[in-house]
Amino acid sequence: MLKTKVNDLVVYYSEDDDIETIVRIIKNNYDMLFKSYVDEGYSFSTVPRDEDEMCVHTDDFQKDIGYLIEQYYYFTGDNILGNHENLSALYAMLLLQMSGVKNPFFDVDYEQTAEMTDTVIAKQYYLANGTAEDFIEYAKYRDPEESKKILTWLRETCRYETYNYILGRVADFLRDNGFDYLATSTSNNIFIDVIKSYGESQEKEYDLPKMSPEEIDKLFYDFLKYINAPDSWRKIYNGLKRKDGIEYTVTDGPEASYCYRNDIDEDYIISIKYNGTTTGFCSLVHEFIHYITFLTEKFNFSLAEFPSIYFEKVAANFLKEKGYSQEVVDETIASRNENNIQILMGLSTIFTDVNTYMKKGVITREDKIALWQNQMMEVYNLRQKYQEQLKALGKPVEPLAAFPSIEQIERDVDIDCDDSTKQFIVSDLFLLDGYQYLLGTSLAESILSQQGNASIPSMIDVVHDIPSYDANSIAEKFGIIKDSGNKNNMKKEKDINQ
Ligand SMILES: [Zn+2]
């Protein structure tokens, strides 16, 4: 008699057995069928064993396992997944398990393994497209080709349901963590607004004025006076410098600044990697405000970027008063935000869809098609205008590409939905960074555009007492008037959907 182990299960077999297949079947159903044997102290055997050993014995392993699978999955398997019975939730779960990402937007039940999810989905598939025997064959061998078929069926069956299910989870998360302000109080397209404003200034190229770390340091003291900062801020800054807590690196590559806790003494330090110009100064202001808020106890993490972005914008205004041009100020801020913009650009569709979902609920395929058509029409009109301009100048004009057929648009929209679904699953903390940035920018811009520097003293109080605020109480404190363009945007949205 021979003996092998599959995970913790001991398997006895004879030379005649096809042990590779047996091991494969056990592995494929380990979590749901075989793990319990281990827990109860049983081993498994295809040949007769002594009475005194705890042993499950099957003469005809493959046939008996088929029966076991049928009994188990058809009669008890339903209860195993509790509230994960609906297909779209299962599909989202499967994608999550396949990606291996710990996604902050989903409450994942880690007791439910990928094997369990796959099994329950397969059961639904064969109920709709096959027989119990087909299902048992699949459960035993998990043929990859068959897996692909099941995945395709799943995607086609519940594409938009899954997308809305995910939007729902993200919306819940955002509401629970104080981000809902973005959806309820600002114009429809905060995302687009932010991207556009920075995108425009980024298209121009300026030579920004050079600024050394020493100059930044000197300017920073002036800035503290300019905002009438409490004396403690100057002391904190001096303390940071004394312990070499601020590092500057000049780079030709991408800029990146951080305020982070170093591993050695668990103290926060500031690292500024900048292009040797005025951007370094705005970075220092941004990171210094992070440093001060990090000194307070834990706060609502939706506001993690808000005070820093606010003071960074004040720093840009300060530069202007120091005699720099508006263009330099714009470009400084734009260049500072390049990384954020990169994140936002890649995620703009899903930001827009989350926002729409939070405002009016489920997004249907028809909604997405209508939006898509609308966008294509805008692009088409722009191109047409451009061609007319060329014609007027007597330049050669190539005929415009035909407007895509409705079938083509439908296909594109479905693909876009699949892509966005995947993006939600794998985007992880990136998406959250994007939200912190958007919320911070939205609040900071509203406050500064409505109250300017008069808001600085109150903001200094906010920095000291940040744990007691969320986005809505900030809006209340500063009496931010909600965007009056809101109604028009809502109306436009309705028109599109008709
Ligand atoms: Zn920041």
Say which residue, 5 or 127, is predicted with more confidence: 5
Q: Is 448 left (phi over 0), alpha (psi -120 to 50) or beta?
A: alpha
Quote the pLDDT of residue 190.
54
Quote the pLDDT of residue 143.
96
Task: Give the Å distance between the CA of 447 and the centre of ligand 1.
Answer: 18
Quote the pLDDT of residue 50.
73
Task: Give the Å distance between the CA of 292 and the centre of ligand 1.
Answer: 12
pLDDT at 496 over 50: no
Task: Give the Å distance between the CA of 305 and the centre of ligand 1.
Answer: 5
Q: What is residue 75's DSSP assignment?
A: I
Mean pLDDT of 382-399: 84
Q: What is the mean pLDDT of the chain?
A: 83
Give Cα 115 distance to the centre of its chain. 25
Quote the pLDDT of residue 495.
36
Q: Which of 82, 459, 169, 467 is nearest to 307 (CA)?
A: 459
Interval 345-368: pLDDT, tens: 667 777 778 888 888 899 999 998
Question: Where do the structural domains in the chain lie, given as residue ranges?
Answer: 2-159, 172-201+340-497, 207-338
Quote the pLDDT of residue 193.
58
Task: Give the Å distance between the CA of 85 and the centre of ligand 1.
Answer: 41
Instruction: Say if residues 271 and 257 touch (Cβ distance below 8 Å).
Output: yes
Task: Give the Å distance between the CA of 434 and the centre of ligand 1.
Answer: 11
pLDDT at 83 over 80: no
pLDDT at 191 over 70: no
Looking at residue 179, its amino acid is F
Quote the pLDDT of residue 185.
54
* Percent with pLDDT over 90 in the chain: 36
In order, the DSSP letters of 172-227 are HHHHHTT-THHHHHS-TTHHHHHHHHHHHHHHS---PPB--HHHHHHHHHHHHHHT
Instruction: Say if residues 357 and 238 touch (Cβ distance below 8 Å).
Output: no
pLDDT at 486 over 50: no
Quote the pLDDT of residue 487.
38
Task: Give the Å distance between the CA of 309 and the centre of ligand 1.
Answer: 7
Mean pLDDT of 370-392: 83
H or E stretch at 32: none
Task: Give the Å distance between the CA of 250 and the centre of ligand 1.
Answer: 19
